[in-house]
Amino acid sequence: MKIVVIGGTGLIGSKLVKKLQEKGHDAIAAAPNTGVNTITGEGLKEALSGAQVVVDLANAPVWEDKAVLEFFETSGRNLMAAEKAAGVKHHLALSIVGSDRSPDSGYLRAKVAQENLIKASGIPYTILRSTQFFEFVGGIGHTGRCGPALACAVPADCLG
Ligand SMILES: NC(=O)c1ccc[n+]([C@@H]2O[C@H](COP(=O)([O-])OP(=O)(O)OC[C@H]3O[C@@H](n4cnc5c(N)ncnc54)[C@H](OP(=O)(O)O)[C@@H]3O)[C@@H](O)[C@H]2O)c1
Mean pLDDT to the nearest integer, 41-59? 98
- Tell me which of 4, 5, 12 to substitute to probe ligand 1's pocket, judged by most ligand atoms within 8 Å of the beta carbon: 12
SS3 category, 29: strand
pLDDT per residue as tens digits for the range 88-122: 999 999 999 999 999 999 999 999 999 999 999 99
Q: Which residue minimizes the CA distance to atom 44 of ligand 1?
A: 59
The alpha carbon of 84 and the centre of ligand 1 are apart by a number of angstroms equal to: 22
User: In 3D, which of 87, 90, 89, 91 has the Cα closest to residue 75?
Assistant: 91
Is the Cα torsion angle 116, 114, 30, 24 positive or negative in sign?
negative
pLDDT per residue as tens digits for the range 67-86: 999 999 999 999 999 999 99
